[in-house]
Structures are given as structure tokens and as C-alpha cells.
Amino acid sequence: MKINEHFLQLKDSYLFATVGRKTTEYKNAHPDRKVIRLSIGDVTRPLAPIVVRAMQRAVEDMGRKETFKGYGPDQYCYGYDVLIDSIKGSYARKGVTLSSDEVFISDGAKSDLGNILDLFSADNTVLIPDPVYPVYVDTNVMAGRRILFADATEENGFLPMPQEGVKADIIYLCSPNNPTGAAYSKEQLRAWVDYANRNDAVILYDAAYEYFVQDEYLARSIYQVEGAEQCAIEFCSYSKTAGFTGVRCGYTIVPTALKRGGASLKRMWARRQSTKFNGVSYITQMGASVVFSEEGEREIAENIGYYRRNAAVIASCLDELGIWYTGGKNSPYIWMKCPDGMQSWAFFDRLLEEANVVGTPGSGFGKNGEGYFRLTAFGTHEDTQEACRRISAMLRRG
């Protein structure tokens, strides 16, 4: 037998392991010091009460013969109508009309971002921004696809735009972005949509952080741009929107109008999902189905607001220090330039040792991340404020 040798090409991911190891070593050596993590990439606020109640009701349903549920409904790849309708409602408020069979319920954006590649030939060329959420690169390395990188740099505000000479078949865009926090405007996305349609390419649009967008000119969905339904698949998640990282639920939009090679990608995806996936639990779907209700949106807005205030604290600290950064306003991530031209890991060490604050070195997200550093807004207010005081004091000391 032969293994998939493309796996041997994967680079080991040392980033979070090394951050964890260095932090533990420092804490063990200095048990008296309080180390604050501004590196948390996971949510920390609890589920909204309305979600908890909906899940409790669903548990009760499962315990009664009359209301017990087995596999989900076949019709929409095991997604319940009530959930699909609520997602359609959320899109309608963004000015996007969807039909029920364009909405696919998933156990989170990560699985679908990887699984969608089943639809495409391994011969395709992929265009991925650098720096980037590592899943896009690794899933394509596993399939042996040729990867081109779109440089995200300070010059383009970490929002690379299409380049006419570059020919790619599959394009990844993530907005608001992890790790940079930068978010595309509708105008900028229009350029990508036009480029993809001209080049017969498909955009895989990761909107996992769209609920953090506040500014009207920024896109909350790629389908807010005309023509996107002919070239884009959108991946969304309840993880950061509603604190579902441990519950697991997301949704992927594959428009009816999206065709390539004479085939409907929606039909192919439905076929793929009904063959390899058996749906998301009823309890989870019922919890998710109330997130976009009026009360649900009000409650999740409180949690998102909490993270936003943290982001604002970090952003204003960097503003005062005159440090360049992206993100912070429409994103839980702040991507700062390391002061004095420091390398990412050197700044990590300095911050840990002198301020007892942990962040994530930008170089771990791609070569263009060197010299940058990611801070996140997922901690507590108190810790975020204290961390900013320490960062400020450290940098003013010089």
C-alpha cells in the first residue's frame, strides 16, 4: 500500500506549542508573577441564556418518545428548517436573499473549509494570503495542490488585492482576518469577485468573524457584492459569533448560481455531505436556531461588545504609543508592528520577560508575519487593561 505522501510535506506547527512551552517555563521559573495571556484564540464568555434554554428544551425533547429525534431531515443535508430559516433571516438583514437548499449546516467552519476541497481537482492552483489561518495551507498541502501566496503587507493594509498576471483556480479570503484583524470593504471585495469571475476561479470566503464588523462600508458577507453568487462559497461559524467553540456549529453557503465545469457546486456539495457526513446534533441545532432571534442577537451582542471593548483598550494603548497596527475595531484581533524593528519571537520574549504578557508571534502565520505580533481581545477586561498598562510602561522605558 501507499500512504498519501503529501502529508510528509506538511510543516510541523510549532507556533502555539512553542508559545505554550515558553509561557509554562517562564511561569515555573517565576511563580510569584502574574502572566497575562493576550494570545487567547478561543472565546471565554459563556453561552447566551436563550441558547442554553433552547438546548435544555431540546434535551427534554430527546428524552420523550413523542419528541425524540434521530438523524436530521434528509432534505437539507440534516439541517432543521428552524435553523436554516433563522440563517436566511440573518442574511436577509444584510440584504442577501438565500434559498433553503443553499444553506448547509456544519459542525463548524474548520471542517467545511477542509472538506470543500473534495469538490476540486488536485491540479488546481490555489491562492492563499500570507500571513494566514494555517488550515487553508495545510489542507491543500495534504491534497498536493500547487499553492501561490498573495502578499499581505503593511503597504496594502494586510488586505492583498488581485493581480492580473496571477492565475489561480481557488482563492481563499478571510475577512475580518485571523491573524491580522484587517477587513475588506465591499468595494475591495468587488475587485476579487470580478477577478474570480473573469478567471473562472472559485473564492472560498471565510466569514467566521463577520459579527465583529461594525463599519457599514465593510462587507459582512461576500454576497453583498454583486456577482459573488457565481463565484463564491461562504463559510460561517457560531464559534466566535455566539461562543460555540465547544458546542460546534457553523454553516456554509453554496449558491445555486455557482457552476464550474458544467456542474452545480451546490449539488456536488450536497452529494458530498450526504455521503460523508451525518449532520449536527439536534440539541446543537436547536441552540443555534435562537442565536439570530431578536433576543438572541441582543444577548450575543453583549458578549461581542465585551470583546470589542477589550480590543478598543488595546488599540488605544497602541495609538498612544504610536505603534502601527491593523484590526481592533471590526475584529477581536490586533495585529501590531513590533517596536524598534524587532523580530516577532524576540518581541515575544521581551514582552513575556519584561511585562509578563503573552501574545502570538506573527512569523508563525507566514513569512509576511515576521516583525508583527498578534494580540487578542478574548481575555477579561481587568487582564486586558493590566496587560496594556504593562506594555505601555515597558515600551516607554525603552
Residues that bind ligand PLP (CB under 6 A): 41, 108-110, 133, 174, 178, 206, 208, 237, 239, 245, 250
Q: Give the nearer residue to ligand PLP in terms of CB position, either 102 or 206.
A: 206
Q: Shortest Cβ distance from residue 239 to ligand PLP (Å)?
A: 3
Cβ-contact 116, 234 below 8 angstroms: no
Nearest C-alpha neighbor of 371 from the set 348, 387, 395: 348
Question: CB of residue 133 vs ligand PLP: minimum separation in angstroms?
Answer: 4
**Residue 108 vs 361, nearer CB to ligand PLP:** 108
- Sequence-distant (6+) residues with CB within 8 A of 312 are 328, 329
- What is the biggest distance separating any 2 CA atoms in the chain, rounded to whole angstroms? 69
Distance in Å, CB of 109 to ligand PLP, minimum: 4
| Least gap, CB of 331 to ligand PLP (angstroms) | 10
Q: Tell me what percent of the chain is helix, strand and coil, each rounded to the nearest 5.
A: 45, 15, 40
Please say which residue, 180 or 188, places its beta carbon nearer to ligand PLP: 180
Q: Taking the complex as a whole, how short is the minimal distance between the CB of residue 312 and ligand PLP, in angstroms?
A: 20
Exposed/middle/buried for 39, CB within 10 Å: 0-12, 13-18, 19+?
Answer: buried
Q: CB 350 → ligand PLP: shortest distance, Å?
A: 26
127 or 355: whose CB is closer to ligand PLP? 127
Measured from the CB atom, is 245 or 343 closer to ligand PLP?
245
CB of 23 or CB of 111, closer to ligand PLP: 111
Q: Which of residues 334 and 391 has its CB atom nearest to ligand PLP in the complex?
A: 334
Which is it for strands 125-130 and 146-151: parallel, antiparallel or unpaired?
A: parallel
| Cell numbers describing residue 87 | 440563517
Residue 360 beta carbon to ligand PLP: minimum distance, rounded to whole angstroms: 12
User: Is residue 259 helix, strand or coil?
Assistant: strand
Tell me, what amino acid is at 318?
L
Shortest distance in whole angstroms from residue 353 CB to ligand PLP: 28
Residue 36: strand pairing partners = 357
Question: Nearest residue by C-beta to ligand PLP?
Answer: 108
Q: Which three cell numbers stand for residue 240?
A: 466566535
Q: Where is 126: in which H helix or E strand? A: strand 125-130
Provide the grid cell at 329.
Answer: 475595531
CB of 264 to ligand PLP, least distance (A): 25
Helix (H) or strand (E) holding 359: none
User: Based on CB atoms, which residue is closest to ligand PLP, 78 or 133?
Assistant: 133
Task: Check residue 220 and report its DSSP letter.
Answer: S
Phi, psi (degrees; rounded to nearest 5) at 105: -80, 135
Alpha helices (H) along the chain: 15-29, 49-62, 81-92, 109-115, 134-143, 186-199, 238-242, 265-276, 282-289, 294-321, 344-350, 381-397
- Nearer to ligand PLP among residue 280 and residue 286 (C-beta): 280
